[in-house]
Amino acid sequence: MIVADAAPLVHLARANWLRLLPRLYTKVVVPPSAWKPVVEPNDRRPETHVLEEATESWLEIRAPPAKAERTAQALQRATPMGPGEADAIALAESLDVPVLLEDAIAADVASMRGLTARWTASVILEAHSKGILYRHEAKSAIEDLVKAGLWIRQDVLLQALGALGGRSD
């Protein structure tokens, strides 16, 4: 299981790689505050339908428990994080599972709180390391994510692509 903010899910859906998540995790949990902007009726995105379909099987919308809500509120007061990121961190902490984020500050806060913070591109690297994707597929997936609007710092992109060099096709 992993808790996710919406942004990684949106980018994976846009790039047509969302299908990796149920192969890596039994369940992906998203807090309602992160989910709401994805399904806003006034701002329907092309990937919304794919994400809504996922809620019928492996994607679960779950509110944080009361204690985690208080933690999320404190995180929002202390950092520039939005409610979706703060709730995702607090929910992951309450469930003792990793958290999937895109925001660097949110990922740093999650790590400082003892959580395993994963990035969107790390989903691709994990799929490659577990034999789900061959090297050339993983490189294509990272390129697709960038084309779909995922911003990756140049040094991180080079590091990710370099990490894919170890397994032959």
Q: Chain-wide mean pLDDT for the chain?
A: 91
pLDDT digits (tens, 9 = 90+) for 133-153: 999 999 999 999 999 999 888
Query: Smallest Cα–Cα separation from 139: which of 119, 121, 115, 117?
Result: 121
Give the pLDDT of residue 168: 44
Query: Smallest Cα–Cα separation from 30: which of 3, 55, 65, 64?
Result: 3
Query: Smallest Cα–Cα separation from 4: which of 23, 25, 30?
Result: 30
pLDDT digits (tens, 9 = 90+) for 20-32: 999 999 999 999 9
Domains of the chain: 2-120 (3.40.50.1010)
Count of alpha carbons within 13 Å of 160, Cβ hemisphere only?
A: 26
Work out the percent of the chain whose per-residue pLDDT is above 70: 96
Whole-number Cα distances in Å, 124 to 17, 113, 142: 9, 24, 7
pLDDT digits (tens, 9 = 90+) for 106-117: 999 999 999 999
Question: For 69-98, what is the mean pLDDT?
Answer: 95
Global pTM reads 0.90
> Is residue 13 over pLDDT 70?
yes
Contact 20, 137 (CB under 8 A): no
